[in-house]
Structure 1
Amino acid sequence: MRKSTIILPIVVIVIAAVLSSVFIVDEREKALILQFGRVVDVKEEPGLGFKIPLIQEVVRYDDRILSRDIDPLEVTPLDDRRLVVDAFARYRIADVEQFRQAVGVGGIAAAEVRLDSILRSKTREILGSVSSNDILSSDRATLMLRIRNAAIFEARALGLEIIDVRLKRTDLPRENLQATFDRMRAEREREATDERARGAEAAQRIQAQADRTVVELVSDAKRQSEIIRGEADARRNAIFAEAFGADPEFFEFYRSLSAYRQSLQGSNTTMVLSPDSEFFDYLETDQPR
């Protein structure tokens, strides 16, 4: 009885010691084995690991790709047009031992503070070397690559690998928005005025061309009508001349009737003629002279 009482606590202690010496590393993490704060082993592969109970401890770090949003910062490009840039970075812990030496017990939180400082510095440096149009254009993918490449070396000293840097938004400072909107509105109004002026000029040109075309068409129509009228008069005169030559008496009679018709129009026509006037020769006798 006394023997079993002694053995049982020993077994429990042994089991507890064995269990405390075994740890499991997940495939999504890496682990460091520390002995009195000093790194004695690195466990990067998933599976079981062993440590000395009470003397050694295990510190785990995430092995996945992490994302870090950078607080919006103001940059001044070459054209002095200030911009507010909102960016983020994707990174991972590449060297856990160096990472531990660089940030100590601060872990990811301390590393991200230093990573923010690196990224903000490189973002200001790169974006300050180009114009605002380059930042706002589709070429900014090249600028993001330059920021990443510039920050890689300093991040490597922290045991970090920067995978990507992206600019989410690029805006004007709030105090400059209204002035920019006013300038854009003025530019659009100027363009609209220019377009209206060009339209009015084109309309006047078209109207002048139309008026000239009308004058030309009317003049040509009048010319053709005068030609046709002249040709008709000539034909009529030719017919009259032919008729006059064929029968002078009949032609004289016809001309007298035409004169009567033209002169005796209306209901109150008065003519003062001498009795022996030749005008009424064909009215005085039944036979032409």
Structure 2
Amino acid sequence: MFNAFRTTVLLAALTAIFMAVGYFIGGSGGMMIAFGVALVTNLIGYWNSDQLVLRMQNAQPVERSRVPELYDMVDTLSKRAGIPTPAVYVIETDQPNAFATGRDPNHAAVAVSTGLLRSLQTREIAGVVAHELAHIRNRDTLTMTITATFAGAIGMLAQFGFFFGGGGNNRNNPLGPFGGILMLILAPMAAALVQMAVSRTREYEADRHGAEISGDPLALASALGKIAASAGHTVNVAAERSPAMAHMYIINPLSGRAMDNLFSTHPDTGNRINALRQLAAEMSVDDKGRRPQPRPTAQNTAPVSGGGWRVPTVGRTDEDGGQRGPWG
């Protein structure tokens, strides 16, 4: 119920921004046109934006025969999360990253990059996948996907209005020649603020819930550190072409962008890692994803499961003995 309310409020806010852009570009007529466009965008955002996002990020569906270990991992973690197993997509980029999309758990997809599969250990990949499954279970994916669709549409509407009449000669513009210029600057900023408000709190919750699903908070913490270190200097071409989609990734995919500032769509990675370390202490999980075994007693002689992700024998072994991911 709360998620439905939150999505409704988000749609109302983005529609209001959309109509404001139309009004300051073309007066009442422009506002009505923008309202019509907003309705269409709402429908597209609900029914088709997940496929639109996947296409814009060059995410390709992969067969189970190509990455059976990844498929098994997603399936196992989905069962732990209590949701249907989502479709699996791969993004061909050296940047390690991942995102989830879909309007509900029955129509969801998880996309991971080839860079992530190559560079992270299996436990770390499981932590990332569990984080994305938490987004799906919490129905964040609909909210984040619609926000991405609207943010891109708002920016395009502002530019369209400026270059085709909003910047000077449109007498319906209540601010005259300054209306188009003002909207060209303010509309994308307003959309970015909405994205920030939606994404930052949801990332902390997905970190916590994902760590509970995988049972291995420190593996996710390690993955976040590695992804953040690489994302800043490894270009993700598809993400750079569609910056409005950046908030959907687990770490900001835009190279050269500050990751801890007022307009960042992601919380500071260091703060996220510290929160996961605190969670690991609360769960009594060590850096191998293990929980302490109780000493055998007359009443209890059975070992207790560690709860963390059991590393399958896949991929190659890292120098420190950690198992590499399933991509090679």
Q: TM-score, with normalisation over the residues of structure 2?
A: 0.21
**Greater RCO, CA 8 A, separation 6+:** 2
Q: TM-score, with normalisation over the residues of structure 1?
A: 0.23
Bigger Rg, structure 1 or 2: 1
